[in-house]
Structure 1
Amino acid sequence: MTVESLLQAIPPLTVYAVVGAVVGIESLGIPLPGEIVLVSAALLSSHHELAVNPIGVGVAGVIGAAVGDSIGYTVGRRLGMPLFDRLGRRFPKHFGPGHVAFAERLFDRWGMRAVFFGRFIALLRIFAGPLAGALKMRYPRFLSANVAGAICWAGGTTALVYYAGVAAERWLERSSWIALIVAVVAGLIAAALLRERTSRVIAALEAEHYRTSDTPTAS
């Protein structure tokens, strides 16, 4: 059985459900590869021999992002900042003091724009909803930025990847899947470089947090 026949056997509704679920769970505050799943589904939709529709992929991504962020907001508003202390102890690689400080710094600087632009930053995709709730951001403001960010991120990413895949298919015909793989690898490399830069900032903030906490207070 070829790769293409395997892909054709995947029901489109399953693809949409996976996109919505993974993006939604990531937006809720659980680290999952939402962007990779969205990009992969958009690539599938660009192959005209498959039944996956790019509009279905984009809509699933928007709904998953908006609903997941809203649930995360509700959890953060009810539990407050102590939620991140508990998560930091259990999942230090994702919710350590440096991660929380970095996200708080972005929220302090950008306000509700952090919710919108957070869709495009891996760390803030996890933190935006719960942190906005914990910081008591007004829900109408949060919701407008959340939905706008979800539409631009999920819709824009799907459209960009879809048209890139279509162009690659036209240019290379039988070798179109090679071009798609190259595009995915290039995207992953760019994401890895951005993640590395963010990790350096987080590490510096975490070191500063521990230096401050270890400094004895004057009696």
Structure 2
Amino acid sequence: MITLHHLNQSRSKRIIWLLEELNIEYQITPYLRDKVTFLAPPELKAVHPLGKSPVIEEDGVVIAESGAITEHLIAKYAPNELAPERDSEDYTEYLQWLHFAESSAALPLLLKVFIAKDGAPTNFLADYAEAELDKVMSYVDARLAGKRYLVADKLTGADIMMSFIIDILAKFNALERYAHISRYAKQLASHPAYQKAQQLEAQYDM
């Protein structure tokens, strides 16, 4: 049995989606952010020293980091369904997108989140975050032209990883700036497992 240590309003929702997509048995141990600081509760440090989410436990092994969790679960349970074949050109592109979500795409969005929460004027960061965000998202938008998914014309772990980025864009009301990303967001939301993850996230966000 897989246990997902799930923090509300976090990267953990995409792991719920992945687990639902894999159709394997799992359970959720939920945690709530502090209503004042919005930080994860200290109880998560008993699971992993960094006290962050998502974290899964499987057969006594603790695995952290969204990308590592996604790679591990797909390789074990659905290597040919949620990833291209390893010896294909698509697989190389898949790996790039899989890690893009937590590297190039995440930084400008998280900077905007932190700047908004801080509320203080900045000398550099706000303008940098906005310019970097537009550069990165314009790149994604161009790569999605004429495509339903990021790679191989099918849902893969890369799309599931990118769903967190889509969520933050939506919170900033920025999806409408990018026509292809906006269409892509609707495509992701059409999956029943995605909808189940949304439902479970709302259920535990209380």
The bucket for the TM-score relative to the shorter chain is 0.3 to 0.5
Q: Which structure has the bigger radius of gyration?
A: 1
Question: Which structure shows the higher strand fraction?
Answer: 2
